[in-house]
């Protein structure tokens, strides 16, 4: 009986570890995506079958792979591989799929997968701005992606409001407020040094 449980556990661990390897996830990526501690992620990826996986661990792994728990438990590995490797990507519209392909940082890729609706509203310029923030030690950390996307969304809303106001009788007021603020952020422009020295 003990040998049977060990065999079932080994098969389940392989069904989790192999798709992770196919996607190119390292231990840190896998731990983050499945919301597991690094030690558990390491055991799975090294196919350490010493202890039986807990149900909560299996559930988190299934969610990270985009699979129902029952499929992960009972479907053969070959059938699961293509589904797990391409989880979520086939459902993306072509524009968002290109955005995902251009994202090199796992945090940005994960954000795009989980926030497809918001991501689809990002303009090409906004996406380019996000791409420029990528890189080792760059500002796009796990929480940083959400922060920067929220800033882009705020800026987009503000520009929409400015456009709406500019079509009303408040255009003169808007123009004065914008000019005042614009002048505050300009350090030195032609003639400004002379004005400041007076």
pLDDT digits (tens, 9 = 90+) for 137-191: 777 765 688 899 999 999 999 999 999 999 999 999 999 999 999 998 886 665 5
CATH of residue 77's domain is 1.10.260.40
pLDDT at 142: 54
pLDDT reading at 196 higher than 70: no
- Please state, for a pLDDT cut of 70, what percent of the chain lies above it: 80
pLDDT at 1: 45
Quick one: 113 and 66 in the same domain? no
Full domain range(s) for residue 137 = 94-160
Domain assignment present for 192: no
- In the chain, the number of structural domains is 2
Quick one: 113 and 55 in the same domain? no
pLDDT at 186: 82
pLDDT at 148: 92
Domain-terminating residue out of 85, 119, 137: 85
What mean pLDDT comes out for the span 47-75?
Answer: 83
Quick one: 124 and 54 in the same domain? no
The tokens for 190 are 């032609």
pLDDT at 173: 95
Quick one: 15 and 47 in the same domain? yes
């Amino acid at each position: 009986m003990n040998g049977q449980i060990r065999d079932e556990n080994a098969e389940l661990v392989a069904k989790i570890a192999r798709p992770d390897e196919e996607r190119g996830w390292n231990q840190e990526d896998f731990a983050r995506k499945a919301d597991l501690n690094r030690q558990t992620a390491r055991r799975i990826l090294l196919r350490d079958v010493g202890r039986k996986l807990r149900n909560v661990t299996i559930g988190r792994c299934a969610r990270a792979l985009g699979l129902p728990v029952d499929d992960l438990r009972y479907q053969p590995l070959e059938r699961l591989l293509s589904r797990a490797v391409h989880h979520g990507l086939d459902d993306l519209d072509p524009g968002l799929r290109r955005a995902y392909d251009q994202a090199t940082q796992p945090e940005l890729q994960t954000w795009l997968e989980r926030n497809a609706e918001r991501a689809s509203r990002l303009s090409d310029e906004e996406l380019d701005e996000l791409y420029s923030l990528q890189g080792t030690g760059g500002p796009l950390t796990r929480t940083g992606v959400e922060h920067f996307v929220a800033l882009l969304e705020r800026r987009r809303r503000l520009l929409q409001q400015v456009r709406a106001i500019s079509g009303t009788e408040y255009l003169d007021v808007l123009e004065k407020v914008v000019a005042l603020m614009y002048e505050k952020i300009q350090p030195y422009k032609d003639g400004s040094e002379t004005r400041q020295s007076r």
